[in-house]
């Protein structure tokens, strides 16, 4: 919790937060980036703050500029976030294509496992 210093006797306090005034809104982070993760993984993604904990939301781009899938990344797993332009992100998306976490080849195995239960 943030504490706001109390004014010293005779000193004027100019911080509006000291009197319950509004804080300036923090702009939301929303950038295209090349995200480097430990384990030599590299993602080309639109990066924002995830609504869950301190996770980083990476909307992984496909080669056509659309979101292929979304991955929530623990910030401790991030080696670097290199901010790039949208046009560069779209150009690099094919080169750094990342395999989605679930593919259509996983589905028959899932269906077979469910039938066996």
Residue 84 lies in a domain: yes
Residue 37 lies in a domain: yes
Give the total number of structural domains in the chain. 1
Residue 79 lies in a domain: yes
Please, what sign has the CA dihedral across residues 33, 38, 42, 46? negative
pLDDT digits (tens, 9 = 90+) for 30-49: 999 999 999 888 999 999 99
Q: Above pLDDT 90, what percent of the chain?
A: 44
Residue 45 lies in a domain: yes
Give yes or no for residue 98 having a pLDDT over 60. yes
Residue 64 lies in a domain: yes
Q: How far apart are CA 102 and CA 21, in angstroms?
A: 48
Residue 18 lies in a domain: no
Residue 3 lies in a domain: no
Could you give the strand order of the β-sheet that contains 30-37, starting from the edge strand earlier in sequence? 67-73, 56-61, 41-49, 30-37, 78-84
Q: Look over the chain and give the mean of its residue pLDDT values, rounded to a whole number.
A: 81
Domain harbouring 38, CATH code = 2.30.30
Structural domain harbouring 69: 28-97
Residue 110 lies in a domain: no
pTM value? 0.66
Give yes or no for residue 57 having a pLDDT over 70. yes
Phi and psi (nearest 5°) for 99? -65, 130
Give yes or no for residue 103 having a pLDDT over 80. no
Q: What pLDDT score was predicted for residue 86?
A: 93
Give yes or no for residue 16 having a pLDDT over 60. no
pLDDT digits (tens, 9 = 90+) for 63-91: 787 899 999 999 999 999 999 999 999 99
């Amino acid at each position: 919790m943030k504490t706001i210093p109390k004014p010293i006797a005779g000193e004027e306090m100019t911080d509006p937060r000291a009197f319950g005034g509004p804080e300036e809104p923090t702009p939301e982070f929303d950038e295209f980036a090349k995200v480097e993760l430990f384990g030599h993984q590299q993602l080309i993604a639109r990066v924002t703050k995830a609504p869950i904990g301190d996770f980083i939301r990476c909307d992984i781009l496909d080669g056509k500029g659309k979101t292929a899938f979304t991955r929530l990344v623990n910030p401790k797993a991030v080696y670097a976030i290199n901010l790039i332009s949208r046009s560069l992100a779209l150009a690099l998306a094919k080169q750094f294509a990342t395999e989605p976490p679930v593919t259509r080849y996983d589905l028959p195995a899932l269906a077979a496992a469910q039938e066996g239960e």
